[in-house]
Amino acid sequence: MEWEAYQPVQHRTALDVLLAAVEARDGLPALTEYKLLRVDRPDRSRGSVAVAGDAVAAYVQAAPHRQSDGAEHWAIEIAVAPGAELFHEALEVAVAQVPGGARYVVWAWTSEAQRLLAAAGFTATRTLHRLERPLPIGAGPDWPSHITPSTFRPGIDEEAWLATNNAAFAGHEENGSIDLADLALRTAQPWFDPRGVVMAWDGDVLAGSCWTKLHGDGVGEIYIVGVHPEARGGGLGRALVLAGLADLHDRQGAEVGMLYVDGANEAAMWLYRDLGFRAVFTNCMYERG
């Protein structure tokens, strides 16, 4: 078994086999979307693979996250093939990819990974819940009187969306510093549908938006929903979520609504529970010490 720097041309096919095997074992994606989008982007991540013949037995990635306050941390994810006892070795390789002195975190989807991280001296410092509910929800959006909804216009609305999103998620460790390159990477994905991005305009100012994503298994995701801080408190967040769920079911055919929410976001957790969402699993972020 040898560890090598990940090379897309050399390793991508074998990596896809590994990721599919891990997902089949766990019933969960092997990597978060953030990491998947950066697998073949050496300018935005550092990856390594454990190679055994023609197979990839493990993959690790460390990727920088720029925060809206100017700080930066590195996020690590690890995928290990079923039956391979490589987690601790993979963790060492991943940590070695982080620049010296930089803050880093490790994300763990499964209870086994969480157990191994705890055994290695890591502590859970953040939770990310996946919530689901059946569709339809039976209620449509009640838009505030000053709001005009529309859908995303490629080539026109990018700057407005970025400004409002980054204000809505100021201080957030992932979503608060999305730039034009990040947005272009996401809108270039095969699943992107501009009709699935609800834009809520207050005159010519974007007050908030709800971006949805349809998965291939009949699950529709509230992908990113955010309300500008100056537009909060008037029911716009609820209206955006309801508009997104209605579009997912009525136009896109989703039978289940899904979203991810930070466990520390009490207001969002209250809203989603009030709308009938329930947690199906929790992803945990770990830090050493």
**pLDDT tens digit sequence for 8-58:** 999 999 999 999 999 999 988 899 988 999 999 888 899 999 999 899 999
3-state SS of 124-185? EEEEEEEEEEECCCCCCCCCCCCCEEEECCCCCCHHHHHHHHHHHCCCCCCHHHCCHHHHHH
Angle at 93 between CA 90 and CA 98, to 5 degrees: 130
Domain boundaries, the chain: 2-120, 132-284
Q: What pTM, to 2 d.p., does this model score?
A: 0.88
| 8-state DSSP, 266 | H
pLDDT at position 176, please? 61
2-120 has which CATH code?
3.40.630.30
Q: Could you tell me which residues are beta bridge partners of residue 151?
A: 198
CATH number for the 132-284 domain, one of 3.40.50.300, 3.20.20.10, 3.30.110.70, 3.40.630.30? 3.40.630.30
Q: φ, ψ for residue 52 (rounded to 5)? A: -130, 100
Residue 113 neighbours by CB under 8 Å, 6+ apart: 78, 87
**pLDDT tens digit sequence for 225-258:** 999 999 999 999 999 999 999 999 999 999 999 9
- The mean pLDDT value for 127-141 works out to 94
Q: Which of 120, 105, 116 is nearest to 287 (CA)?
A: 105
Percent with pLDDT over 70 in the chain? 97
Q: Does the fold of domain 132-284 match that of domain 2-120?
A: yes
Residue 122 neighbours by CB under 8 Å, 6+ apart: 106, 286, 287, 288, 289
Residue 152 neighbours by CB under 8 Å, 6+ apart: 161, 194, 195, 197, 199, 209, 211
Element (H, E) at 50: strand 46-52
**pLDDT tens digit sequence for 193-209:** 999 999 999 999 999 99
Query: Is pLDDT of 83 > 80?
Result: yes
**pLDDT tens digit sequence for 145-197:** 999 999 999 999 999 999 999 999 886 666 767 889 889 999 999 999 999 99
